[in-house]
Amino acid sequence: MRNIKRDFTQEISIPQAKAFLKRGSYIGDEFLLIDDVDENSFPLSQRKLNCLLILLCEEGTLLYKIDRHKLIAHTYDICIFNVNQTLYFYNKSRSHYKGKAIMVAPSQIQKLANDFKRFATESICRHMSSSTSIPSKKSYTIFSSFSNN
């Protein structure tokens, strides 16, 4: 058996995705939202994630390997890939995929989790103290200022 050295110097990061895709809404290199992801949006080789990546499969299928496990995402599936996982999208020539992506820098993951926790806690407390079933009209903005390129 041949010993194959795996080179993970190529990463999937927000700056790299902004440069490669040349589209999306972003806040610096901390958050990136891409509304029109397709099978051609993904790298051709195995990459190590340098961010949190969330994909929503709106149409078709996405075949990928995550840390050597083969998986398939179908329409309406949500895929969440964590920092430092090794990701490889394969079989792109025979699969059709359309979806959306959110990328979050590692420095922002804990802040985002705290914002969601606060939102969920306040919503549950407000609902439990309310005598009516009408939901609160208070809204939360987690992503506040985006730039479009």
As a whole number of angstroms, the distance between CA 37 and CA 21 comes to 9
CA distance 20 to 57: 20
Strands 47-49 and 11-12: parallel
Tokens describing residue 89: 């999208």
CA distances from 5 to 12, 17, 44, 63, 90 (A): 19, 25, 18, 24, 20
Residue pLDDT tens, the chain, 149 long: 344 344 445 888 999 899 888 889 999 999 999 999 888 888 878 889 999 999 999 998 888 888 888 888 899 999 989 999 988 887 655 668 899 999 999 989 888 888 877 777 776 555 455 444 444 444 344 443 344 44
Model's pTM, two decimal places? 0.70
Of 25, 75, 85, give the one whose Cα is nearest residue 53: 85
